[in-house]
């Protein structure tokens, strides 16, 4: 069996960290097993779906590195959904329902007042009701008739799961205006695309029971299911209350690296440490449903930012060369340990390639340093040898030695290691800066 998974976003908004994590976990599972990752655009909601959001989905997934093996749009597949509908109709698994939204609301309110679950009472199956409502000319919506029995499966994350469909309302598959709702197109597509594993958030656990019944009603094999816990904020708060608008587009604009985002989303909520990885292949090799915990995964932007920095510190020059014109391998090696975002590189590179206004904190020390400055060529050994000579000449040591030199050479109190930076700045600029000149 070829492992085949799907990611089915709706083009009604930008991809957020929650659904990006769903896409990522599907992708990693499939790639670990040599399987297929299908992108399925769920655009049956014509009123809310836009081409702009669809294009944003493609762009965001490409940025994250999640290349799909096939893709389709549900708007192209309406004939398949109609065929599935007629099969269910012919087999007696669906029925027309005529209640208005107001009547259904009233029914739910009465049940709630009696402290009963708000389960649809199948009033439309009563022949008297059916005749009356048809005579009134009410357009029907269509419901799937659940078996009202226990449906069990072994979830790849949650373990054994059993849901009694007697505790659920018969799901509406088609609205009165003829539009398909989520459930039937999803099942029909999973059958047609030979989806072997449905990997998604645990908010879908309950409706999985209804979907299993629809798979069986259509005579199709039931895929394996894996339902993982949802994301919450750093303090355990619902993500939507604080970070619900955090999209991949926003993360990209804020300078996060795609591999850092991928590593973070793949590892939070698992038994693995949250550490940077150099490739999606490394993440795929690590992937195992057994590592996913049952507790919600905590999404902390500060933790992601720290991981982004760690990822950049490990990134080889070849991986960023095309994005960093004017920065060579030696300069990258010098500045990358000090980066939090790649955009920080521009300011640090200017310490070498740009003009720096020095800060002279100890004029006597910088004068002695200028007098002790050795001739070029310089290497990383130049800095310790030179500062040793300056210390001998001035008696300065520790912070009293190194801090005035850093301020003079870079105009700032922190930054890259000076043993790496010094040869790149060059003797002429170093000498000028030690004299207090902008150079």
pLDDT number for residue 240: 59
Residue with tokens 């060369």: 321
Could you name the CATH architecture of 1-71+229-314?
Answer: 3-Layer(aba) Sandwich (3.40)
Going by C-beta distance under 8 Å and a sequence separation of 6 or more, which residues neighbour residue 407?
358, 359, 360, 361, 413
141-162 tens-digit pLDDT:
999 999 999 999 999 999 999 9
Q: What is the CATH number of domain 80-174?
A: 3.90.800.10
Q: Tell me what the pLDDT averaged over the chain comes to.
A: 95
How far is 70 from 193, CA to CA, in rounded Å? 10
213-252 tens-digit pLDDT:
999 999 999 999 999 999 988 888 877 544 545 899 999 9
pLDDT number for residue 242: 47
pLDDT number for residue 241: 44
Q: Which uninterrupted H or E stretch holds 72?
A: strand 70-73
pLDDT number for residue 238: 76
Do the domains spanning 80-174 and 321-439 agree at the CATH topology level?
Answer: no
Residue 33 has pLDDT above 90, yes or no: yes
Q: Please compute the mean of the pLDDT values over residues 27-37 and round it to a whole number.
A: 98
Residue 344 has pLDDT above 50, yes or no: yes
CB 230 within 8 A of CB 201: yes
pLDDT number for residue 313: 97
Cis peptide before 170 (omega within 30 of 0): no
Q: Please compute the mean of the pLDDT values over residues 157-170 and round it to a whole number.
A: 97
Question: What topology does CATH give the domain 321-439?
Answer: Arc Repressor Mutant, subunit A (1.10.10)
pLDDT number for residue 47: 85
Higher confidence at residue 290 or residue 234?
A: 290
Q: Please compute the mean of the pLDDT values over residues 274-291 and round it to a whole number.
A: 96
Q: By mean pLDDT, which of 166-175, 234-243, 344-353, 402-411 is the weakest?
A: 234-243
What SS3 string covers 75-144?
Answer: HHCHHHHHHHHHHHHHCCCEEEECCCHHHHHHHHHHHHHCCCCCCCCCHHHCHHHHHHHHHCCCCCEEEE
How far is 189 from 186, CA to CA, in rounded Å? 5
In the chain, what are the domain boundaries?
A: 1-71+229-314, 80-174, 321-439
345-394 tens-digit pLDDT:
999 999 999 999 999 999 999 999 999 999 999 999 999 999 999 999 99
Nearest in space to 287 (alpha carbons), one of 110, 34, 72, 67: 34
Residue 114 has pLDDT above 70, yes or no: yes
Length of the chain: 439
Q: What is the pTM of this model?
A: 0.92
User: Would the CA dihedral through 168, 170, 171, 172 be positive or negative?
Assistant: negative
Q: Please compute the mean of the pLDDT values over residues 390-416 and round it to a whole number.
A: 97
């Amino acid at each position: 069996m070829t492992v085949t998974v799907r990611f089915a976003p709706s083009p009604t908004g930008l991809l957020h960290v929650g659904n990006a994590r769903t896409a990522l976990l599907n992708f990693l599972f499939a790639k670990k097993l040599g399987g297929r990752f299908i992108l399925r655009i769920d655009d049956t909601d014509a009123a809310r779906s836009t081409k702009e959001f669809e294009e944003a989905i493609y762009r965001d997934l490409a940025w994250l590195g999640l290349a799909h093996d096939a893709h389709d749009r549900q708007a192209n597949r309406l004939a398949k959904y109609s065929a599935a509908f007629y099969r269910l109709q012919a087999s007696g698994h669906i029925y027309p329902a005529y209640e208005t939204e107001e009547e259904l609301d009233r029914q739910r309110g009465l049940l709630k007042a009696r402290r009963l679950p708000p389960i649809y009472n199948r009033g439309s199956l009563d022949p008297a009701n059916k005749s009356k409502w048809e005579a009134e000319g009410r357009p029907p919506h269509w419901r799937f008739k659940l078996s009202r029995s226990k449906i069990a499966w072994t979830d790849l994350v949650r373990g054994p799961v059993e849901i009694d469909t007697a505790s659920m309302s018969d799901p509406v598959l088609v609205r009165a205006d003829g539009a398909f709702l989520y459930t039937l197109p999803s099942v029909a597509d999973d059958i047609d695309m030979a989806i072997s594993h449905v990997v998604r958030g645990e908010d879908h656990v309950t409706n999985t029971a209804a979907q299993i019944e629809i798979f069986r009603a259509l005579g199709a094999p039931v895929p394996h299911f894996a339902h993982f816990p949802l994301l919450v904020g750093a303090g355990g708060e619902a993500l939507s209350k604080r970070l619900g608008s955090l999209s991949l587009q926003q993360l990209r604009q804020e300078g996060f690296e795609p591999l850092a985002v991928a590593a973070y989303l793949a590892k939070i909520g698992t038994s693995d440490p949250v550490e940077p990885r150099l490739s999606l292949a490394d993440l795929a090799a690590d992937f195992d449903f057994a590592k996913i915990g049952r507790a919600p995964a905590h999404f902390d932007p500060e933790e992601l930012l720290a991981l982004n920095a760690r990822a950049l510190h490990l990134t080889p020059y070849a991986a960023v060369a095309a994005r960093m014109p004017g920065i060579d391998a030696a300069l990258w090696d010098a500045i990358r340990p000090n980066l939090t975002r790649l955009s920080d590189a521009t300011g640090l590179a200017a310490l070498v390639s740009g003009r720096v206004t020095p800060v002279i904190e100890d004029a006597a020390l910088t004068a002695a340093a200028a007098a002790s400055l050795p001739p070029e060529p310089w290497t990383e050994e130049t800095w310790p040898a030179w500062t040793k000579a300056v210390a001998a000449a001035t008696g300065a040591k520790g912070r009293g030695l190194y801090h005035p030199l850093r301020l003079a050479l870079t105009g700032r109190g922190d930054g890259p290691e000076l043993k790496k930076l010094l040869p790149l700045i060059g003797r002429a600029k170093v000498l000028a800066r030690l004299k207090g000149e902008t150079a």
